[in-house]
Amino acid sequence: MMATSSYNWAVRRHFADPQHAGKLQDDYELTLVADVSESEHGAHIVISAGIRGGVIAGMAYRVWGCPHLIAALECVCTTFEGQPVAGLENFDSADITQELSVPVEKTGRILLLEDALATLWAKSAGTEDQG
Amino acid sequence: MSGTAVYLDFAATTPIDPRVAEAMQSCLSPGGPFANPASIHIAGRESAALVEKARQRLADLLGADPRCLIWTSGATESDNLAILGAASFRAHRGKHLITMPTEHKAVTDTFAHLEKSGYGITWLKPDADGLLSIDELESSIRDDTQLVSIMHINNETGVIQDIGRIGELCRARDILFHTDAAQSVGKLPLDLGEAPIDLLSLTAHKFYGPQGIGALYIADRPGCRVLPILHGGGQERRLRPGSLPVHQIVGAGTAAEIARQDMANDLAHVSTLRDRLWQGIKTLPGILRNGSEDHSYPGILNISVQGVEGESLMLGLEPVCAASGSACNSTSGESSFVLRALGRDDALAQSAIRFSFGRTTTNDDIDVAIERYRWSVDHLLSIAPLAVPGG
C-alpha cells in the first residue's frame, strides 16, 4: 500500500477543476476522436477535437488515469484549441512533462498522449478511417 | 502531521499514546535509566528491571509466560526470526512449509527466500472472502511439513483467520504454527496460555507504542525452538543479540498495559466508526467491500469501486490519509497482490482504499472521509470514458 506522490500546483488545479473533461458541445465541420489505452500503466484516454476551417475549435476528453494524466490532458486541450490542425503532427510531451513535474516512472502514461494526438493527426490527414 | 490531515491509516501505524510517550520520556531525560540492561552494575540492573517489567506487561496482554517473549525490532524481524529460525531448527526433520500468498511481505518474501534455498512451500490461496479453508490446509500437510504460517488479521482487508483451529490442526501433527499478529495484538483478545500457537510476531507501533520495537513469542514446549538469524551477543536467550533499547521497550510495555485495559472500549469504538463510514458510502455505484464481512476486524474497511482509478481517488480524498490498494506511484504500477488473490481484477484492486481507525478517530473524521470519498468517486466517474477498466 502506498500513499499518493507529490503533485504540484498545476496538477492539483487541473485535477480538481478540469475544464475540458466531457463531450464536445458544439457542432463542428469535422470531429476527430482518438481512443487509446495502456493497460500496463493503467490509463485510458478518449480525446476529441472539433475542427472548423482547418483550426481546432474545441477539444474535450474523457480519461481513466492518474492525476498527472488528467492534468496533462487539460494542458493539451488548452494548448491546441485555436491552433491549426497541422500542429498535432509535431506534439512533444516534454514541455508538459516539465510543467507538471511528471515523475519519470510515469513517462509511459504521458507518452500515451502523443499516441492520442498522433491518431487525431492521422485521422485529420485522412490516412485513417474515423473510429 | 498537518493540522488539517484526517488520519485514517491506523493499520500502517498508530500515533503514540501520550502515556506511552511520557513513560519513554522518563527514560530519555537526564538521570533516566540509560544504562545497558546487560551490564551487571547498579545502573544496568535498573535498566534490566524496566525491561523485565515491560516484558511482564506484554505477557499479561497476551496471557503468556514472559520468558517466552523475545524483544526484536518489530514484526518484520520477528517474522524472519520465526520462519527462518524454525525452518533451520527443523530442517533435519523435513523441508516442507505452508503459508498463504495474502500474508504480509515480511512473511511471503521470507518464504520465497526459503523456496530458493531448497525448501518446498505450499502457497494456499484464500477463498473470495480472504479466508483459509481448513480442509485445504489439512490436505496440504505432508509427512515432512514442519511449519505453517498464517496471519491473524490481514493488514489490508482486516480478515480474521481462525488461528485456533489452524493451531489445533498443527499441534495434533507436531507441526509448528506461526502467526503474524501485528494487526491483532492489543486489539483482539489473545490467550497464548490456551491458544495452540507456537510462534507469534508482534510490533508495538500498531497498538500506540513506538516504532522500532516488537517481540516474538516462542512457546515453551518440546520441539518448539528457533535458531538465531543474527549473531553477536547473548541477549534475549541468545536468540536476538544486540543491546536492548530500554526506552523503546518501556514504551512497548506501557502500550501493552494500556491496550489490555482499553481493548474492549477500543473495539467498540472502531466498530461504530467502521459502520458509520460504510453507511455513508455504501450507496455509491459500483462500490464493493474487500474481504469477509463476517470475519473481519472492525478497525479496517477495505473498499473498491468500479470504474475509478486508484491514484486519482487518493488525491481526491485529501486531506484524508488512507492507504491505496495500488502501488501506482511506483515504477511497477502493480495492484495489491492480496486483493488479486481474493479474485479482484487489476482495476478493482487498483481502486481499493483501506481505511483504518483507532482510539483517537472521531465521528467528525469519518464524516470528512465520507464527504471526500463521495466527491472523489463522483468526480472521477464524471470524467471517465464510458467503458473503463473495472467499469
Whether B204 contacts B246, CB under 8 Å: no
Whole-complex ipTM: 0.90
Q: How confident is the model at residue A126 (pLDDT cuts 50, 70, 90)?
A: confident
CA–CA distance, B287 with B304 (Å, rounded to integer): 6
Mean pLDDT, to the nearest integer, of A38-66?
91
Residue A95 has a CB neighbour count (10 Å cut-off) of 11
Residues of B annotated catalytic, as ranges: 328
> Which one of B258, B276, B310 terminates a domain?
B258
Are B275 and B209 found together in one domain?
A: no
Instruction: Determine the pLDDT at residue B227.
Output: 97
CB spacing of B312 vs A66 below 8 angstroms: yes
CB contact under 8 Å between A62 and B324, yes or no, is no
Which candidate, A92, A9, A48, A42, places its Cα nearest to that of B334?
A42
- In the prediction, which pLDDT does B101 show? 96
d(CA A97, CA A103): 8
Which CATH number does A25-124 carry? 3.90.1010.10
Which of B237, B258, B279 is a domain's end point? B258
Looking at residue A127, what is its pLDDT? 46
Do B221 and B157 sit in the same domain of this protein?
Answer: yes
Question: Which of A64, A102, A107 to mutate: most B Cβ within 10 Å?
Answer: A64
Q: Are residues B192 and B285 in the same domain?
A: no
Is B101 within the bounds of a domain? Answer: yes
Residue that is last in its domain, among B211, B226, B258 = B258
Domain identity same for B187 and B308: no
Facing B383 at nearest CB: one of A2, A22, A105: A22
How far apart are alpha carbons B181 and B126 in whole angstroms?
18
Residue B320 has a CB neighbour count (10 Å cut-off) of 23
Q: Give pTM, 2 decimals.
A: 0.92
Q: Indicate if B127 and B236 belong to the same structural domain.
A: yes
Indicate if B308 and B159 belong to the same structural domain.
Answer: no
pLDDT at A10 > cutoff 90? yes
Chain B residues inside the 8 Å CB shell of A107: none
Q: Which of A15, A21, A42 sits opposite B328 (nearest CB)?
A: A42
For residue B389, being part of any structural domain is answered with no
Q: Are residues B232 and B268 in the same domain?
A: no
Domain containing B130 equals 18-258
pLDDT at B352: 94
3-state secondary structure of B335: strand
Q: Is residue A107 very low, low, confident or very high in pLDDT (cuts 50, 70, 90)?
A: confident
Report residue B321 CA to chain centroid gap.
18
Residues B103 and B225 in one domain: yes
Q: Do A3 and B309 touch (CB under 8 A)?
A: no
Mean of per-residue pLDDT scores for chain A: 88
Residue whose C-alpha cell reads 507501533 in the numeric block: B205
Residue B391 lies in a domain: no
Domain count for chain B, please give it: 2
Domain chopping of chain A, boundaries: 25-124
Cell of B221: 514446549
- CATH assignment at residue B315: 3.90.1150.10
> Could you read off the pLDDT tens digit of each residue along chain B, which spans 391 residues?
667 899 999 999 999 999 999 999 999 999 999 999 999 999 999 999 999 999 999 999 999 999 999 999 999 999 999 999 999 999 999 999 999 999 999 999 999 999 999 999 999 999 999 999 999 999 999 999 999 999 999 999 999 999 999 999 999 999 999 999 999 999 999 999 999 999 999 999 999 999 999 999 999 999 999 999 999 988 999 999 999 999 999 999 999 999 999 999 999 999 999 999 999 999 999 999 999 999 999 999 999 999 999 999 999 999 999 998 754 433 345 678 899 989 898 889 989 999 999 999 999 999 999 999 999 999 999 999 976 555 5
- Alpha-carbon Rg of chain A, whole angstroms? 14
Residue B309 belongs to some domain of the structure: yes
Residues B342 and B240 in one domain: no
Phi/psi of residue A74, nearest 5 degrees? -60, -45
Say whether both B66 and B206 belong to one domain.
Answer: yes
Domain holding B219: CATH number? 3.40.640.10
Q: B201 and B115, same structural domain?
A: yes
Sole residue written with cell 459502520: B275
